[in-house]
Structure 1
Amino acid sequence: MTNRFVFVVGEALIDVIVRPGGTDEVPGGSPANVARGLARLGVPTALLTSIGDDDHGRLVLRHLTGAGVDVLPASVHHGRTATATATVDASGDARYVFDIDWDIETAAIPDGAAVVHTGSIAAFLEPGAGKVRALLRDLRGRATLTFDPNVRPAILGTDPAPARATFEAVASLVDVVKLSAEDAGWLYPGRPLDAVAEHIAGAGPRLVAVTRAAAGSTLHAPGHVVRIGPAAVDVVDTVGAGDSYMAGLILGLLETPPAALDRLGAVAAAAASYTVSRRGAELPRYRDLETD
């Protein structure tokens, strides 16, 4: 691996999508999607996750390694692979049920990563979440640390206060936080998005990116805010858009001086734009990005 490689730690699972017309099983998990997105963008990427040695685990492994992700051997354990079941009714609304036990083996992690990324369930669900925080503390100053909470209320419950405390503890350890307007609204109900971003930035990150769906995104750095307009594409669906944005943002961090917020935002937005213009979580390759 080169010194541009990215190390991702977080969940990989199977999304079981139950619709009136049938059931589909698709590999997913936000950190795993980010790892796959980075690999498709040509970035050497290693992933530490937790999957079983069952059929679901083998499906996830093929999905990731086929895209070029180096899935660390410690990621595979004896037992079942986590699932997220989304039951979609005739109106398109989905109800989610998660079957996941999150823990990781951190004894053998790769050295020399330029960026280390985590997020989603991996940052909140114990006992693995505590190990993720310990890993981030150990890697501070040795890599650029990035975090996307990708909030899952079906796991976190109805009271945002405990999850908010965990979120802020992780945010205080990292350099870059990316979150969606939905994440911000759940974690900080009633607070304006810009105020949320400023609050998070006050915890220590040097960059906070907020995705705002059809309103584009904003990037907040000390004394500087850049607003990126909405994508000029026909939106097919938004599945995977946040993970694609995160992968594009990390690519931008590898290629762009951190102060160049407009360029960082443009690369991330281009990746997300590609994904929303296609059905499902189809992530771009480098040649698909248009950032002029």
Structure 2
Amino acid sequence: MHNNGRPHPSRQVPDVVVIGEALTDVVTTPEGTTEHPGGSPANVAYGLARLGVSTGLLTSIGADRRGHALETHLADAGVTVLPGSRPLERTSTATATIAHDGSASYAFDITWDIEPPDLAHTPPKLVHTGSIASFLPPGANCVKAILQKLRSECIITYDPNIRPALLGTQAEARHTFEELVQLTSVVKLSDEDAKWLYPEKALEETATHILGLGAELAVITKGQSGSLLATPTTALSIPAVKTPVVDTIGAGDSYMSALILGLLTHGTNGLAPSVLDQLGCTAAAAAAITVSRAGAKPPTEDELRTQLQHQHQSQLHPHA
């Protein structure tokens, strides 16, 4: 991992800074309309704080009712919304309208712009970014500039969380993605992301390609088929944890939060196969907890610990 070996001075900044969108998901059905906190990076920050990680979010919200609701939601988990996160007149929304036949149509009202603080002065241990924030100007340009400043100072993780409706052409999006990969340590993407970016490649080939761009670890999640973790010397397949699925909302973000927790713990020890296995199993456990209940409700630190202990016991006594 990128680590300059110097001890960090006493810091005001959190251990992890997540950079990316926080928005309101608006769901309209024939029965009425509900609103929920959303945005993949905001979900990752929320999940990290639930896991006991000191977390700050650099985002883009408005000083309106929805912005206040997002701040309250994040603060309840312990996330600090960083200075420079309130430049908008109104908070962004993603609206899903569900018809009587169950079909859905989507509309996005998203503005992404930030006023970044100088994170390079006292860098966090890890920076995570991704999703709309890494593609949508003008904020995407700020994200890239931040990563360029911090790439030698801390671990950088990236999840593109592709949203085709909000991107330009596939070629443009792939160019932007690959430019950011060159600035990051760890890249995580879903199999759907991988197939959209590289339709001509098998997943293993996509992981190899990402490593060739400079990443130290490429992770591809495959839903109920588990996940692939690859370094230049090792590739491991980690099975998904068998659990009843209520819905899959937020599963990928919970996986990312737990992966970051593992990187904070093991990052300086290198990425030996045993470490990769532990990273993958921990992240899979977090995703399993999330899919076992409705909505984007990532596990707490205690819930994840209990799940991992249960998995360990099951491995020791598979027929008990």
TM-score under structure 2 normalisation?
0.87
285, 292, 301: which one pairs with 1:286? 301
- What is the aligned counterpart of 2:147 among 128, 131, 136? 136
Q: Quote how far apart the aligned CAs of 1:91 are.
A: 5.1
> How far 1:19 sits from its partner (Å)?
2.0
Residues 93 and 264 of structure 1: CA distance in aligned 2, closer, same or farther (over 3 Å): farther
Alignment of 1:28-47 (within 5 A): 28-47=38-57
Task: Compare CA radii of gyration and give the structure with the larger one.
Answer: 2
Contact preservation (8 Å) 1:2, 1:44: no
CA 113–107 in structure 1, closer or farther in 2 if over 3 Å, else same: closer
Question: d(CA) in 2 for partners of 1:25 and 1:195?
Answer: 39
Q: Which runs of 5+ in 1 are unaligned?
A: none
Aligned match of 1:51: 61
Matches within 5 A, 1:228-267: 228-256=238-266, 257-259=269-271, 260-267=275-282
Determine whether 1:161 maps to 2:171.
yes
**Which position in structure 1 is the counterpart of 2:4?**
none
Q: Tell me which residue corresponds to 1:275.
A: 290
Q: Compared with structure 1, are the counterparts of its residues 226 and 9 closer, same or farther at alpha carbon in structure 2 (3 Å cutoff)?
A: same
SS in 2 for 1:161: helix
Once residues 135 and 153 of structure 1 are traced to their aligned partners in structure 2, the CA distance between those partners, rounded to angstroms, is: 24
Quote the Cα distance in structure 1 between the aligned partners of 2:191 and 2:27.
Answer: 24
Instruction: Assess if the C-alpha contact under 8 Å between 1:41 and 1:285 holds in 2.
Output: yes
2:191 matches 1:176: no
Identity %: 53
1:4/1:254 contact within 8 Å kept = no
Give distance in 2, aligned partners of 1:188 and 1:134: 26
* Structure-2 change in CA distance of 1:267 and 1:93 (3 Å): farther
Equivalent positions of 1:180-219 (< 5 A) are 180-219=190-229
Cα shift at 1:95: 2.6
**C-alpha spacing 1:68/1:4, structure 2 compared with 1 (3 Å):** closer
CA RMSD of aligned residues (A): 1.6
Shift of 1:185: 1.1
- Aligned to 1:16, the other structure's residue is in SS state strand
Q: Report the Cα distance in structure 2 between the residues aligned to 1:2 and 1:43, rounded to whole angstroms.
A: 14
Structure-2 change in CA distance of 1:104 and 1:116 (3 Å): same
Please give the per-residue CA displacement for 1:75-125, whole angstroms capped at 9, x wherever unaligned: 113510000111233454433221111111013447231110000000000
**1:13 counterpart (23, 26, 30):** 23
Pairwise mapping of residues 78-157 of structure 1 onto structure 2 (< 5 A)? 78-90=88-100, 92-109=102-119, 111-157=122-168
SS at match of 1:66: helix
Q: Which AA in structure 1 matches 2:184? A: V
Q: Distance in 2 between matches of 1:243 and 1:114?
A: 19
Local SS of the residue matching 2:90: coil
Letter in 1 for 2:299: P
When residues 189 and 89 of structure 1 are mapped into structure 2, their CA distance, relative to the original with a 3 A threshold, is farther
How far, CA to CA, are the matches of 1:249 and 1:225 in structure 2? Answer: 16
| Contact 1:15–1:85 (8 Å) recurs in 2 | yes
Q: Distance in 2 between matches of 1:111 and 1:68?
A: 21
**Cα separation, 2, equivalents of 1:22 and 1:147:** 36
Distance 1:94 1:171, change over 3 A: farther
Which secondary structure state, in structure 2, belongs to the residue aligned with residue 43 of structure 1? Answer: coil
96-105 or 137-146, larger mean C-alpha shift: 96-105
CA spacing shift, 1:162–1:235, aligned 2, 3 Å: same
* Structure 2 Cα separation of the partners of residues 24 and 279 of structure 1: 14
Matched residues, number: 291
Q: Which amino acid aligns with 2:163?
A: R
With normalisation by structure 1, the TM-score equals 0.96
Change in CA separation of 1:204 and 1:214 when aligned onto 2, cut-off 3 Å: same
Amino acid at match of 1:129: A
Q: Is the 8 A contact 1:97 1:154 kept in 2?
A: no
Letter in 2 for 1:205: A
Q: Contact 1:235–1:278 at 8 Å: present in 2 too?
A: yes
